[in-house]
Amino acid sequence: MKISLIRSYRSKNGNPTFVYSVKASGTDLAAFREAQGEYYREDDNGSPLWFTTRCVGQSGKLIITTNGNVVPDMSSFDQAASIAAQYGGNFGQELARQAAQSIFGGKNHQDEPATQPSPADVPSADDVE
C-alpha cells in the first residue's frame, strides 16, 4: 500500500498529526480497512486516509503486521541508519545525508552540473593588461 502526504495539523493536544492518502486495492484495501477498524477514515471522494503522529516523508509504504497493526515501512530509514553507524565519522555522515536525500526525494546538489559563466562574465584578451 502506497501513501502520499496530504497535509498536517496540530491536534487539540498540540501534537503534530500527518494525514496520508492510501493507494490500495482489492485484498490490500480490505485488509487496511479491517486493521483500521473504528479508525478507518475516507476523504470526501471515498479514498482511504491514514493518520499518524510520525512523519514518514512525502510518500512511503504501509504494511500490516502479524498482529493486525498498520505501520509505515521504515526499512529504508533503518538501512540508512545502519550504514551510517557502520562507517561513522565524515564518511558515515555523508552516507546518511545521501540516504536521507534519496528517501525524501531531495536533490543532491553535488550531482548537479557546475554552472558555467556566461560569455559576458569572461574577460576578453583585450581586457587583460
Could you report the per-residue pLDDT of 99-124, keeping only the tens digit for each? 778 777 755 444 444 444 444 444 44
Characterize 1-34 residue by residue with b for buried, 16 or more Cβ atoms within 10 angstroms of its Cβ, and e for exposed: bebeeeeeeeeeeeeebbbbbbbbeeeeeeebee
For the record, the C-alpha cell of 41 comes out as: 477514515
- What whole-number distance in Å separates Cα of residue 28 and Cα of residue 122? 60
Instruction: Taking each helix axis as running N to C, give the angle between helix 75-87 and helix 89-103, from 0 to 180 degrees, rounded to the nearest 10.
Output: 160
Q: Residue 124, Cα to own-chain centre: how many angstroms? A: 48
pLDDT at 106: 58
pLDDT-derived band at 91 (thresholds 50, 70, 90) equals: confident
For the record, the C-alpha cell of 129 comes out as: 593588461
Could you report the per-residue pLDDT of 27-65, keeping only the tens digit for each? 999 999 999 999 999 999 999 999 999 999 899 999 999
DSSP lists the bridge partners of residue 4 as 21, 59
**pTM here?**
0.70
